[in-house]
Amino acid sequence: MTTPSPFTYEALPMRVRLGPGAVAQLSEEITGAGLQRVLILCSPEQQDVGESIATALGDQAAEVYPHARMHGPVEVAAAARERARQLGADGCVAVGGGSAIGLGKAIALEHGLPIIAVPTTYAGSEMTTVWGLTDNGRKRTGKDRRVLPVSVLYDPELTISLPPQVSATSGMNALAHAVEALYAPDSSPIINLMAEEGVRALYTALPAVVADGTDLEARTEALYGAWLCGACLGATTMSLHHKLCHTLGGMFDLPHAATHTVVLPHALAYNQPEAPRAVAALKRALDINSDPATALWELAGRLGAPRSLHELGMAESAIDAAIEAAMTSPYANPRPVTTEGLRHLLSAAWAGKPPTT
């Protein structure tokens, strides 16, 4: 028996509903949060879902605001904040993935309006106090309790229409949250259990989800895994993987989930020599005896997801600028981050090569 090292664990205060039909309880959640009139936030692609939710809410819905964009451009956040003020909204319902929920967080950060999240992807932002805003190609992130949703409704029926590749990259993005939590400096036995179970659930569910998007059982299992992985992200410090993805996304406007998909196996391979406990946990979760980084790279291939930054539109000549930006501020990581190490990592990720240490 291994005695746990001293640790601190703090649960984040929020309600979670998970299961088919959960969105039908949204009106009850709004009332329970003490709200009367909410602004419905979504991306243009999710406007139909936003409109249907607004119709169901009736007078509780102030308006549908379908202008969320990835990476949280500051100008979009400013316009949304002003619209919420004009409408007299006392809260927001963010419907969609990380873009919509990120927009809700921007409004909460500025005006303190409570958020209720209705995720339709596996991004996991709804489980964290992390916010992100992009200004002039630089993405800033921070943590603030004001941006944490007061309630989250996970309804797998809302994910049925999620295309196979979006499901794949969104799920890989969620896996990254748990992987980094396993070697975070402020992890704990509780978080490790959640991370291992979250990885297991997503690794099992994603191939079934991509094969048949109407498989409600697989969709439910994937949302369950995404919830656990997101909670791990919310409770720990982000490391090399997230730092690189925020840098690449902010500088080159690369698609968020796809960037996580490409970078994850390479960042994990970089850190594996200094994270033996994380490697052991991942081997259990993936039910393998081989290298976890390679297993995740192979999973992306089986899912038909992108495996190179080149595919996402990044120029090879941009690698040097990305390295310089990533090295500008220190961050927690189990293995020291060097310019040479980042060049090896990003060159392999750009070309779509298998991950190596």
pLDDT given for residue 110 in this prediction: 80
Using the predicted structure, report yes or no on whether residue 10 has a pLDDT greater than 90: no
For the domain that residue 140 is a member of, what is the CATH number?
3.40.50.1970
**Chosen domain end from 114, 141, 159:** 159
Q: Is residue 289 part of a domain?
A: yes
Residues 256 and 135 in one domain: no
Could you read off the pLDDT of 98-124 as tens digits, one per residue? Answer: 899 999 998 898 888 999 999 999 989
Residues 114 and 23 in one domain: yes
pLDDT given for residue 1 in this prediction: 53
Residues 311 and 223 in one domain: yes
Q: Is residue 202 part of a domain?
A: yes
Could you read off the pLDDT of 48-69 as tens digits, one per residue? Answer: 999 999 999 999 999 999 999 8
Could you read off the pLDDT of 293-329 as tens digits, one per residue? Answer: 999 999 999 999 999 999 999 999 999 999 999 998 7
| Contact criterion met (CB below 8 Å) for 259 and 313 | no
Q: Is residue 88 part of a domain?
A: yes
Residues 148 and 212 in one domain: no
* Residue 113 C-beta-side C-alpha neighbours within 13 Å: 33
Percent of the chain with pLDDT over 90: 80
Residues 77 and 213 in one domain: no
Q: Is residue 4 part of a domain?
A: no
**Chosen domain end from 115, 143, 159:** 159
pLDDT given for residue 137 in this prediction: 76
Residues 173 and 147 in one domain: no
pLDDT given for residue 2 in this prediction: 61
Burial status of residue 129 (CB atoms within 10 A of its CB: 0-12, 13-18, 19 or more): middle
Secondary structure (DSSP) of 155-224: -GGGGTTS-HHHHHHHHHHHHHHHHHHHT-TT--HHHHHHHHHHHHHHHHHHHHHHH-TT-HHHHHHHHH
pLDDT given for residue 199 in this prediction: 98
Q: Is residue 59 part of a domain?
A: yes
Residues 238 and 116 in one domain: no
End-to-end CA distance of the chain: 31
For the domain that residue 182 is a member of, what is the CATH number?
1.20.1090.10
Average of pLDDT values for 219-228?
97
- Top pLDDT among 75 and 21 is at 21
Residues 285 and 205 in one domain: yes
Residues 196 and 343 in one domain: yes
**Chosen domain end from 134, 159, 184:** 159
pLDDT given for residue 52 in this prediction: 96
Q: Is residue 2 part of a domain?
A: no
Per-residue buried b or exposed e for 249-277, using 16+ beta carbons within 10 Å of the residue's own CB: bbbbbbbbbbbbbbbbbbbbbbbbeebee
Could you read off the pLDDT of 148-192 as tens digits, one per residue? Answer: 999 999 999 999 999 999 999 999 999 999 999 999 999 999 999
Residues 153 and 176 in one domain: no
pLDDT given for residue 240 in this prediction: 95
Lowest-confidence region among 16-20, 59-63, 70-74, 284-288: 70-74
Residues 154 and 203 in one domain: no
Could you read off the pLDDT of 267-303 as tens digits, one per residue? Answer: 999 999 999 999 999 999 999 999 999 999 999 999 9
Q: Is residue 3 part of a domain?
A: no
Secondary structure (DSSP) of 137-157: TEEEEEE-GGGS-SEEEE-GG
pLDDT band at 142 (very low <50, low <70, confident <90, very high): confident
Residues 28 and 109 in one domain: yes
Name the residue range of residue 73's domain: 15-159
Q: Count of domains in the chain?
A: 2
| Contact criterion met (CB below 8 Å) for 123 and 101 | yes
Q: Which amino acid is at 290?
A: S
